[in-house]
Amino acid sequence: MLIDSHCHLDRVDLKPYAGDFRRLMEETSAAGIGHMLCVSIDLEHYPRMRNLVAPYPQVSVSVGVHPNERGRREPTPEVLVELARDARNVAIGETGLDYYRSTGDLGWQHRRFRDHIAAARSCGKPLIVHSREAREDTLRILTEEDARDVGGVLHCFTETWEMAKAALDLGFYISFSGIVTFKTADDLRAVAAKVPRDRLLIETDSPYLAPVPHRGKSNEPRFVAAVAQCIAGLRGMSVEELAALTRDNFFCLFKDAVPVD
């Protein structure tokens, strides 16, 4: 059984499924995807996302606001903690810093990131962290705000081994997306081969970043199999072994997630 530790099911292209979300979920299960974490990126669409996945016990959710989201409802620690009381909620995020798409004075990103960490510490749930071209500040804020108390995951990891090691030292997991399959990702594959077995996760980040051989398509959770195959090859193990260890890691980190037999 494979687990997609980070996807956005409410944004997946349903055209191949004649617009039928139920059919997407049926085919995802048939492909051997046993659990998914549907990750929030804003508060405006959170109720719709939550209602969409409500009938599917194999889907957990998070609550948070992506660092690039602007001009909408700002998440306070109190609001995040209240939403995180949902029994299906397993994490706070995604949150973090992104200096690639946002420019200028980014103090607002720092404040929002700190608020998410405060919420996670208050409710005792792990963080889902997005970091792009913000390596030093991401690690600094995680350290300053005592994020090691709750831990979490650096999702869709694309950085160096040095950053991975620093995050591991803070008690975080490292998750790899379809980017690890790209032809130009040799350095990232080297990192994926080194992450300790008990801190490794895989994801799709659907509908973005479809892995080889699906590049050019809208990504979806069943394509996590390509990520698993790539990393299993790098680490000299079977896909079944990689699936088992990443499953165990997922439920170890996201302790409120409930496995579905």
Segments making up each domain of the chain, as ranges: 2-253
What pTM was estimated for this model as a whole?
0.97
Whether 53 shows a pLDDT value over 70: the answer reads yes
At 229-250, the pLDDT tens digits run 999 999 999 999 999 999 999 9
Q: Regarding the domain with residue range 2-253, which homologous superfamily does it belong to in the CATH classification? A: Metal-dependent hydrolases (3.20.20.140)
The closest of 57, 38, 35, 36 to 49, measured between CA atoms, is 38
- At 58 the pLDDT is 98
Taking the CA atoms of residue 156, residue 215, residue 190 and residue 98 in that order, the dihedral angle to the nearest 10 degrees is: -30
pLDDT tier for residue 71 given thresholds of 50, 70 and 90: low
